[in-house]
Structure 1
């Protein structure tokens, strides 16, 4: 999940931000207070874990191509960066028109490389986002059920707390409910699908998991 998502924000990109709004300290809890890490709940759910494996299999050619191209780009940028540093030292760190041109060319190379890698990683990024969005669509229901079973009426995100005992963490309970509500998800977004557009055709109901082949 890490390699690819990293450089093009694509694969394994950081995951969809899922956080609870902090409740004012004055709020009164009738039954109890709990803590839940919703991002971790999604990331450790059975559906997400299985989908990640499918994505890495299905998109293996794209991921391999991405990694190969990124390695070449990194080497090229390092060579250009080293040359720029050498030229700067030769000029005693004094800016010159030639150095300015060389610097601008280096910046342009960086921007072009970033755009190229993002384009290459787009299919994988969309697959990741599609998986996360299908699971997140049932996250509220899973949380409510976990709260009912744990007999709590107030749940905070870990970031909204100063300190808490492990016993009040119901993240695992949320994962259990997610696994029941979303046993599996599809990894292939419908044509034209984009993250965050719930009204898109095919995005409302969980898709049938793809018959995978692999990625990194």
Structure 2
């Protein structure tokens, strides 16, 4: 989905340089803060009934022993994943990196074509992805996105909101409106471009708006599970 968001952002003239590194750097601080705070908050709000489990290390060691050593195909899978991510980090197109990784796994016998064929959700995404991208592009080309964003931006200006306040309002709206959608992909295809244009019309820096909406996309999926 993040790649889809970046594609839609490009169509509105927002180019994120070196996407993987930029996304990683921008998300690092809030991710680390959440990683440190969330366990403490959850521990206070929902304290566990069992707080002492001295037998856990022994059970974990027994389970690992029963699983046996890492086999050859598992090492190949790990290496292929690291290679694909590294290619993406160093600027290779994500689709190219993914195809290289899949080709390696097929050639070395880690996966076979039946494994690929049985991933029905992936085929659904492949079929609908191009349609959603095309629809979003046409909404932009026909001027609907610009018209809608200008209307919203004018309303925000009537409240004399600064651009940080506009970010807060638009991000909250983008998040909670997911209750009206059955899928994240459909939500992004329908609203990402419009909300990015609203941010830009409200004076929000383009890259900040594009990344924030992308991160928000990864978060709102949890509210309709």
| Short-chain TM bin | under 0.3
Q: Which has the higher helix share?
A: 2
TM-score under structure 1 normalisation?
Answer: 0.25
TM-score under structure 2 normalisation?
Answer: 0.24
Structure scoring higher RCO (CA < 8 A, sep ≥ 6) equals 1
